[in-house]
Amino acid sequence: MVKVLYLIATTCLYFMLSLFSIHSKAQETVQKELGHSHTQNAFSDKDAVTKMAKNFESAERDAMQQPYKVIQYLGNIKGKKIMDIGAATGYFSVKLAANGADVIAADVSEELQAYLKNRMEKEKIRNMELRKVPYDSPLLKDKEVDIVFIANTYHHIDNRTEYFAKVKKGLKPDGKLVILDFFKAEFTDKIQAPPMGMRVSVDEVVFELRKAGFTSFEVEVKLLPYQYIIKVK
């Protein structure tokens, strides 16, 4: 009888662990497809990048992200040097360049940088350069840019206090850091957004950036339906 109970318990435990493993792998796959994985291989496959480009440059994203409101919020950017961290397929980088900014499109993925290079050539974009960056640094020179822009990427960065202290050094004396990311709240609409556990609240962002040395904060929570914008000096 004891042996039978032991076998039943062992079988149940094995079954539960198998389910957990399957769920974890499925969740990781979904996050990779949505671009919400911390793994270094998330954007390393050319086919995956092509699929992501369709999502990243879609009309559905335009409706959710409302990029032209964001560009307008930035003010006159003509002639400004802007680094777009997490540029990916160039969703914001291309629009910033079209509005007269000199753009540094920065990303950790070689495949995404290659995709954007081809896009720049096809669309004859001259006022943009690419910069492949590591996970722990924006590779900015001291006082190099007027604006560091980071959309949908803040929540991916580890050791944010250290990272954004480096960002601060790369800003010109009157330079700004602009962060656009998702509210840490449940949405009734079905949109493409990171899992709740990955999102960072406005208060958390402000707290982390104060530790990084920033002192002036302008928080906009009404302009966009699903995201906040924080302008920092």
Class of the 59-232 domain?
alpha beta
Whose CA is closest to 209, among 222, 218, 196?
A: 218
The predicted-structure confidence for 8-49, as pLDDT tens digits, reads as follows 344 343 333 333 333 333 333 333 433 454 444 455 567 788
| Across 148-170, average pLDDT | 97
| Across 45-54, average pLDDT | 78
Burial class from Cβ neighbours inside 10 Å (0-12, 13-18, 19+) for residue 144 reads middle
| Across 132-143, average pLDDT | 98
Model confidence at 112: pLDDT above 80: yes
pLDDT of residue 53: 83
pLDDT of residue 141: 98
Percent of the chain with pLDDT over 90: 71
Model confidence at 58: pLDDT above 50: yes
Which range (19-28, 150-159, 199-208) has the least confidence? 19-28
Answer whether 89's CB lies under 8 Å from 71's CB: no
pLDDT of residue 27: 35
Q: pLDDT: is 74 or 20 the higher one?
A: 74
| Across 172-184, average pLDDT | 97
**Which conformational region is residue 7 in: left (phi greater than 0), alpha (psi within -120 to 50 degrees), or beta?**
alpha
What are the residue ranges spanned by the domains of the chain? Answer: 2-48, 59-232
Q: How far is CA 155 from CA 171, 223, 230, in A?
A: 21, 20, 14
Interior angle at CA 209, CA 204 and CA 214, nearest 5: 145
Rg from Cα positions in the chain: 20
| Across 190-217, average pLDDT | 95
pLDDT of residue 24: 34
Give the pairing of strands 227-232 and 171-182: antiparallel
Model confidence at 224: pLDDT above 50: yes
Model confidence at 120: pLDDT above 60: yes
Sign of CA dihedral 221, 223, 224, 229: negative
Percent of the chain with pLDDT over 70: 80
pLDDT category of residue 169 using cuts at 50, 70 and 90: very high
8-state DSSP, 57: T
pLDDT of residue 51: 80
List b or e across 71-108, with b for residues whose CB sees 16 or more CB atoms inside 10 angstroms. bebbeebeebbbbbbbbbbbbbbbbbbebebbbbbbbb
| Across 115-128, average pLDDT | 97
Q: Quote the CA–CA distance of 121 and 197 in Å, as a whole number.
A: 38
- Mean pLDDT of all residues in the chain? 85
